[in-house]
Structures are given as C-alpha cells and as structure tokens.
Amino acid sequence: MDASISIDRIREASKAIDPVFLHSPQFVSESLSAHLGVIPVLKVETINPIRSFKGRGTDYLLHHLAGDRGGIVCASAGNFGQGMAYACRKRERPLTVFAALSANPLKVERMRALGATVELRGADFDEAKEAAKRHAQENDELYVEDGLLGAIAEGAGTIAVELTQDPEPLDAVFVPLGNGSLVNGMGTWSKRFSPATRVVAVCAKTAPSMALSWKERKPIAASSETIADGIAVRVPVPEAVGIMAGTVDEVMLVSDEDMLGAMRLLIDHAGLVVEPSGAAGVAAMAQVADEWRGKRVAAVLTGGNLTQSQMRDWFF
C-alpha cells in the first residue's frame, strides 16, 4: 500500500469500517453558537471503544491487510496505537507499539488492555518512531506509519463523507493537524463533494512543524512542546506534506491556553470531555469567530482520552 488517497476507497471505507466507529454524532450546539456567534457543527469522535477517530483509519488499514498473519509494529502518542490494537485484536494480529517515555499513562494502559505490547522509548514521539522502525526491521515485521499509508487517511476521510451528507452545506471545517492522515483524507473528499467548504487545519503554536511544512511545501522539523500530544509532531512525514498542498486551504496555530479554553467551552456548552488536540478545531473556530459570524462551521473533536490528574488540573 502507498500514500495515495482515492475517492473510491474512501467510499469503500465508509461501508467496510467496523460500524462501531462510523456515523458518530454531529450536531449544532446552540449554546456554543450563542457564545461564539457562528453555527458550530460538532463532529464527536470520542464516543467509541477507543475514544478517538483513529479507529476508522486503523480498521480500514487492517481490512486491506486481511490474510497476512505476521506481526505489526507502529509508533503512537496513544490514540493511533489504541486504534491499531483494537483492529489487530479483532483479527488476531500481534502488535507492538512504541511510545515515548512521557506518553499519556491512560493511553499506554488502554493499548496494553487491548492486547498490544507497548515499548516506551525516547523523549518524544519521533524518537519512539525511530525505535519502532529499527524493531520492525530487526524482527522482520511490518512497520505501519500514521500519515504515510493512504488507507489510514481513507478511513479517516469517512468523517468528511458523513459531514457532507448533512443537507446544509458547511462554510468551513476545522481539523486538528497531526501527521496529516485526517486532514488529507477529509480534504480529498471535501474538495470533490463540497468544494466551497474551506478546509482549515489546526496545529499547536508550540508544535508548528506541519504548519511550516505546509507553508513552505516541504518538510520542516520544529519543536513539539505542547500539551496536545495528538498533534505534537516534530518531524513531518514528507508524503503527507506533499498531499496537503491539494487538500488544505489554510493552517492555523493555537496555543495550549487556547486549547484549554476550548476544552472548557465544550464542557460548559456541550457536556463533552475532549483532550487538547481534540479541542484544537474549536480553539481555532473561537479565534476567528468574528470572521465566520453566522456561518455554518464544523470542528472534528478527535479524541477524549484524559487521565484523572489531567481532568483535575485542567477543568477544576
């Protein structure tokens, strides 16, 4: 499998992915609308067995790998690893996930509970990724990289399929930007079936590598110091950067404080517990609410895996 993304395969994915991940809630929050002045459509990807959107892409990837029984290796900040673990357990495929020493302990615990072997290596995600690549090569196992394989983006693109089924068109969609699978999958579908919808990718201000890379049209490494581990990319995937030139209209930067504020908005106005990267789209939406006043704009709430200490520190 390669990095290319196909409309036909996104359509196939919308039927082939485990139903537990499909047709997630999407609704206008009237309370948040009154607060921001936009018409916010919240796409809630936290109500499933792994509490994140990652199950779409990982399940579709394993659907394509059917028949192979060999071991799989990946790196993850936690949500992608949970998606891989869920999909591999379902198909009885052995999985080893490499995560940073600083990885969210709840996500590590959940990956192990889902049957993955988890190895903690390196100071950040990209160091863990290098360790994963070495392990796969040394043990003759399949290395799977989020942001690189088209099937993962095609699975994530099913979110756009569901959003475009809404009879009222969107003026913009705000998408958290990590390794690029989500925005590239969604952008591929949106550009074909809802070309008037502006696709806005959102990075953490202190982890701007993907924003810089999109602007310069080439991979640019940068700091990844942010509380939003799901979008804390230090070294971009070149293939994902190349595809973004045709799928993304704008990249915004939001601060950790912006994301914390958005998390509190989602608690107060929608009763939703969302992790920092999952709230990045709402943080960006709030930042430009005056520009989009009265417009119908969507935000993908990509994950809701928070430890008790994080919830205590950030909400109370």
CATH architecture of 11-52+151-315: 3-Layer(aba) Sandwich (3.40)
Q: Is the predicted pLDDT of residue 1 greater than 70, yes or no? A: no
Beta carbons within 8 Å of 248's beta carbon, 6+ residues apart: 183, 187, 199, 200, 201, 214
**pTM, entire model:** 0.97
**pLDDT per residue as tens digits for the range 29-59:** 999 999 999 999 999 999 999 999 999 999 9
**pLDDT per residue as tens digits for the range 199-235:** 999 999 999 999 999 999 999 999 999 999 999 999 9
Query: Where does the chain hold its CATH 3.40.50.1100 domain(s)?
Result: 11-52+151-315, 54-150
DSSP three-state, residue 314: helix
Gap between the Cα atoms of 172 and 200, Å rounded = 7
Mean pLDDT score, 260-265: 98
Give the other-Cβ count within 10 Å of 271's Cβ. 9
Beta carbons within 8 Å of 242's beta carbon, 6+ residues apart: 217
CATH class of 54-150: alpha beta
